[in-house]
Amino acid sequence: MHRVILKGIDAAQAIGLKDQLLRDGLIIHEDFEWEYRPTYSDGFSGEERHHARFSFRDPALATFYQLKWS
């Protein structure tokens, strides 16, 4: 899987991007996976900022959406 990580976006924005992928005809659990992580601290390495992670099976799709969303 080829990952696209978008830092500093909130949950609503992440869901909007996931919905955009579905409208574009991609199939979840087949073409891509996604997750949203709120801001958290593991107590050792400092605070990790909230982010969304999209994992694509096709590297061309990962590149396309990375460019589109940046």
Cβ atoms 28, 22 nearer than 8 A? yes
Two tokens, residue 40 = 């958290």
Residue type, 49: R
Cβ atoms 14, 36 nearer than 8 A? yes
* 6-33 pLDDT, tens digit each: 988 999 999 999 999 999 999 999 999 9
Quickly state the pLDDT bin for 52 (edges 50, 70, 90).
Answer: very high
Two tokens, residue 35 = 């997750």
Strand, coil or helix: what is 5? strand
Q: What is the pTM of this model?
A: 0.83
